[in-house]
Amino acid sequence: MISNILLYTMIAAVISFALGQKLKAVRWSFSALFLGYVGFQLYGLYGQWGMVETHNIFSLGSINFSLNFGITKLGWFFAFFTTIINIMIWIFSIVKNMNEKEERGINFLWILLAGSNLAIFFSVDWITFFIAWEIMTWTSFFIITPGWKNSFKAANWYFILSMFGAYAMLVGIWWLYATPAIHTLNIASSIALLAKLSITAPGTVGIIIALFVLSFFAKSAVFPFHPWPAEAHAEAPDDFSPYLSGIMIKYGLYGILLFIVPLFIQIMKVNPNIAMVNGIPVYSYILAWFGAITAVLGTYLAIVSNDMKKLAAYSTVSNIGYAVTSMFILSSAGVTGGLFHVVNHAVFKSAIFLSLGAVKFRTHEREMHKLGGLATKMPITFLTFLLGIIAAAGIPPLNGYASKWIIYQALLSGHFPFLTTMIFLASTGAFLYLFRALHSIFLGQLPRKFNNVKEVPFLMQIPMILGILSMLGIGYAPGIVLKPIGLAVKAMGLTPMTVENTLMVGKLSSINTAVVSSTFIGAFFFAFAFYLIGKKRHHVEPLDNYTAGQDPEEFGLTPELYHFALKFYEPVKNIFRPIEEKLNIKNYYRALVRNANSFGATLSEMFKLSGAGSSMIFVLGLVVIILAGWML
């Protein structure tokens, strides 16, 4: 069944390739319909836990390569939700690409990507997982950079870090296999065996965990891999950014939930002499701190960025930080909260990116100080963005609130005061950048050139409306998502949280989301009534406001310079500048790349010597080899 779906995906990719550039509307509609079919099939697969399909590829020597697909609760959950979000994005893509001058044939790559997305969630052995992971990496590379030079530089950040992670995972996989006590490629059994091995050989287990963690962190842009989303998400095609941010960045978290978290839970159960902090293994505690650092760092970087897509990308980074911290608490509430936040983030961040995509679709601008006042021109987009950032900031009654509530419950009930502080700090910082984005893009004065901007076509509004509905829906009744999450959490060996459709029961308190939602919606309408009966506003040109009646053109002033979004958080930036200058990870990466290039150039000089020089290398090399061979 699963392999059939994957096979159909490949066939769909071929069909899409064959349809060609002229029929782009057809192929985007086709792919959205196809994915709808896939989603339907996935829905039917619910409940068939433990089903495994094996396809042998070949065996040579002592290794047998085979593809194994199976349905786990966690995998099904991820596969289903990502597919639904993907369908939403593709509905948006239909119109977006119809009007694009050249759509670059990314559609067939994206179908392949969607297939590898499913394969990642359905693989039950590491080889299959790695294959799906690699296909995901290279297809997404070519989608991010379909022949655009700017995006090539951006995609390189993503690609090199991802490949680095993939190779770390590859070594980890074969290290698992080469360890005699484990010697398996099955994911589930490798967890159990590794946990046992941690009693006798903690060092080996630690290194293997580190290799996998590197890979997952690189994919999910956890510190120190946090620079890539801002580059790649910002430069990717506008309809791919929601996918990157909503779905792709979650693969690392999926890996953590698939392997690292259950492993730590197992180790806690079987290994009595593991070093513990606050009731969790010390490794887990350290990794939780990585999450917290990511959350704060992402928030800061979002605050100081002026590019709206970069802002949203850094916001993603910081949200990943919350989820990572929460997951590594290893308590039931922590894992549930992390997992729930992954879903919620996928929903609201794709909604945010879709609305940004819609803004860019109409205005072709990305820098916030060139925008403004679009709320009346693009009401649906505005509403999507508004609710998206409310969700992102964790304000009730939207879905982000529900998951942040669980995360705080987990942190506080686990007694992690410092981690809680970090997450609070990041969460408060989120208000700074989110509302800045809102008022810079949608509120304030509309620049003259955008007087004729219209709302996006209806087909593009559909996914945004769906996003609004699901944000509100999950916020109103978090139980619809938390119940399947409970199954996945139970499969990891934890007691799931008690939830009902509109009720979440935490250790410290319980909350009825239906009551909260009704209260907030009531309050909203109350305030809205005030807005309606309030006085009419006067329109004053921004330049008239600031230049006291002088002719601004004499000073070379433009409305953009007086846009309040420009250098809005300059003071914040100034405070942190000394730290930023010294500790900018990006500079280290850049230096690494520069040095790799010059290292290569130096080495290749060796091959430009004359005949005499090369025979010298020959003879000297031989002498060195002989001497070294003899000595060592």
157 binds another protein (CB under 8 A): no
Nearest in space to 259 (alpha carbons), one of 371, 182, 156: 182
For position 630 contacting another protein by CB under 8 A, the verdict is yes
Q: Does 522 bind another protein (CB under 8 A)?
A: no
Q: What letter represents residue 566's amino acid?
A: L
Q: Cβ closer to another protein: 141 or 264? A: 141
Tokens of 19: 């349809």
200 contacts another protein (rule: CB under 8 A): no
Query: Distance between CA 1 and CA 273 in Å, rounded?
Result: 44
Distance CA 562, CA 301 (A): 23
Shortest distance in whole angstroms from residue 135 CB to another protein? 6
When binding is defined by CB under 8 A, the residue of 159, 251, 314, 433 that contacts another protein is 159
Q: Which is nearer to another protein, 47 or 147 (CB)?
A: 147
* DSSP secondary structure of 376-389: TTSHHHHHHHHHHH
Q: Which strand (E) or helix (H) includes residue 167?
A: helix 149-178
Contact pattern from residue 75 through residue 104 relative to another protein, giving x for each residue in contact according to CB under 8 A and a dash for the rest: ---------------------------x-x
Closest residue by Cα to residue 347 from 166, 475, 524, 253: 475
Asked if 62 interacts with another protein (CB under 8 A), we say yes
22 binds another protein per the rule CB under 8 A = no
The nearest distance, CB 72 to another protein, in angstroms, is 22
Q: Quick check: 277 binds another protein (CB under 8 A)?
A: no
Of 60 and 540, CB closest to another protein: 60
Out of 58, 526, 528, 530, the residue judged to bind another protein by CB under 8 A: 58
Q: Which of 127, 339, 356, 380 binds another protein (CB under 8 A)?
A: 127
Q: What x-and-dash track marks residues 215-254 binding another protein by CB under 8 A?
A: ----------------------------------------
Q: How far is the CB of 497 from another protein (least distance, A)?
A: 38
Largest CA distance in the chain: 94
Provide the terminal-to-terminal Cα distance of the chain, rounded to the nearest Å.
57
3-state per-residue secondary structure call for 544-575: HHHHCCCCHHHHCCCHHHHCCCCCCCHHHHHH
Compute the least distance from the CB of residue 248 to another protein, in Å: 17
Span from 171-179, 283-291, 307-315, 505-513 in contact with another protein (CB under 8 A): 171-179
> Does residue number 326 form part of the binding site for another protein (CB under 8 A)?
no
Q: Is the Cβ of residue 548 or residue 603 nearer to another protein in the bound state?
A: 603
Taking CB under 8 A as the binding criterion, the range among 76-84, 162-170, 374-382, 404-412 that sits at the site for another protein is: 162-170
Q: Strand (E) positions, 6-165?
A: 52-60, 63-70
Spatial CA neighbour of 132 closest among 283, 224, 34, 10: 10
Instruction: Write out the E strands in 95-192.
Output: none
Cβ–Cβ under 8 Å, residues 274 and 200: no
**Other CB atoms within 10 Å distance of the CB of residue 182:** 22
Q: What is the 3-state secondary structure (H, E, C) of 232-258?
A: HHHHCCCCHHHHHHHHHCHHHHHHHHH
What are the distances in angstroms from CA 44 to CA 2, 30, 76?
A: 11, 21, 11
Which is closer to another protein, CB of 17 or CB of 431? Answer: 17
Shortest distance (Å) from residue 416 CB to another protein: 35
Stretch of 309-317, 516-524, 579-587, 614-622 lying at the interface with another protein (CB under 8 A) = 614-622
The residue within the footprint of another protein, chosen from 50, 60, 364, 540 (CB under 8 A), is: 60
- Paired residues of 56 in beta bridges: 66
Binding another protein (rule: CB under 8 A), the pick from 174, 435, 520, 564 is: 174
Q: What whole-number distance in Å separates Cα of residue 273 and Cα of residue 236?
A: 48
Q: Which residues of 256-293 are buried (b: 16+ CB within 10 A; e: fewer)?
A: bbbbbbbbbbbbbeebeebeeeeebbebbbebbbbbbb
Bridge partner list, 66: 56
319 binds another protein (CB under 8 A): no
591 in contact with another protein (CB under 8 A): no
In the complex, the residues that contact another protein under the rule CB under 8 A are 57-63, 65, 102, 104, 127, 131, 134-135, 138, 141-142, 145-149, 152, 156, 159-160, 163-164, 167, 170-171, 174-175, 177-178, 596-601, 603-604, 606-611, 613-615, 617-622, 625-626, 628-630, 632
